[in-house]
Chains A and B, each alone.
Chain A
Amino acid sequence: MTITAKANSLWEYANPRKFLATSERLLPFFWLASTTCLVVGLVWGFFFTPDDYKQGSTVKIIYLHVPSALMAINCWLMMLAASLIWLVRRHHVSALAARAAAPVGIVFTLVALVTGAIWGQPMWGSWWAWDPRLTSFLILFLFYLGYVALWEAIEDPDTAADLTSVLCLVGSVFAILSRYAVNFWNQGLHQGASVMRVAAVTGSDTEEKVSNIYFFPLMLCIVGFVLLFIALVLYRTCTEIRARRIKALLARERANA
């Protein structure tokens, strides 16, 4: 199959029936795999890793804080891709997928903010600091809330999809800032990347990186969060497609009455 043919076959999933049928087949795998990875990763991290020499047992918060923060940003980037597809190709499923992902992003952002505050209190002596990364993350959270509110506020679904897509484009600045703020500005309490930094792995920099004792269960938790995100977005998109069909059927019924 050529690349063009493969790309064209991808658009078949813009058909709601095809999307529903494929999702129904894939969902059991994603639910099972995400639960397994999360349970094994969290149990491994919580029960079978030692305390850190600097941070004590608070290092165990890393298994929730890092994956949730990572997925909070990636969720918005997924919504950005779906919004662009809606704006360019007008596929309803992509707009509904972006809508379905937003509450998942809200919860992941909230988990990252709460665990960050709880972790920060004993380590920094403060629950919160107006640090570039923390502030951009808080603004991202507010964008998530605004995005959901905008969907709810506008009755016509196509207009809502248009306006929320534009909001998503604007909010992407903060999604990117949340990830790279520590590289742009040196001030602030939040540390730079220490989990997946190529230079640290290859040995070309000497900055501290997460020890392998913590790295492997953390990777399992990250995979678990990614799979949970996929499962939730597929499931919730199916729900949005069905809800939209109900609206269309009821509108047709009213028109015929």
Chain B
Amino acid sequence: MIPDLGKYTETVLSAYGISIVLLVALVVLSVMRGRRVRTELKSVEQRMSRDG
């Protein structure tokens, strides 16, 4: 499945592994915070409209 990377197998795979982990973590953390803030805003707006 993985192409023959010769003597640089570890080099190439570690570059891809670290980069993909960093990029995926950035997207996941951004989306998680976005959802948390959106939910919090909804609850604050609802509470304020209920309390006048």
Contact = CB atoms under 8 A, between A and B. Distances in A.
Given A111-B22, A235-B31, A121 B41 contact: no
Contacts of A110: 22
Contact of A115 (B7, B8, B15, B44): B15
Contact of A238 (B8, B19, B23, B34): B34
A103 interface: yes
Contacts of B16: 42, 46, 60-61, 64
Contact of A239 (B3, B8, B33): B33
A68 interface: yes
Interface in A220-257: 228, 232, 235-236, 238-239, 242-243, 245-246, 249-250, 252-253
Interface stretch (A51-59, A128-136, A210-218): A51-59
A232 B27 CA distance: 7
A232 B11 contact: no
Contact of A119 (B15, B27, B37, B38): B15
A107 interface: yes
B2 to A, nearest CB: 8
A2 B25 CA distance: 43
Contacts of B11: 57-58, 61, 118-119, 121-122
A225 B45 CA distance: 36
A110 B45 CA distance: 38
Main secondary structure of the interface of B (DSSP, over half): helix
Nearest to A107: B26
B11 to A, nearest CB: 6
Given A47-B3, A56-B8, A242-B41, A61 B15 contact: yes
Interface string B33-52: 11001101100110010000
B34 to A, nearest CB: 4
A64 B23 CA distance: 11
B19 to A, nearest CB: 5
3 A-B pairs with the lowest CB-CB distances in the bound complex, closest first: A57-B5, A239-B34, A118-B15
23 contacts: A42-B16, A51-B6, A57-B3, A57-B4, A57-B5, A57-B8, A61-B11, A64-B16, A104-B26, A107-B23, A110-B22, A111-B18, A114-B18, A118-B14, A121-B11, A228-B23, A239-B30, A242-B38, A243-B37, A246-B37, A249-B41, A249-B48, A252-B48
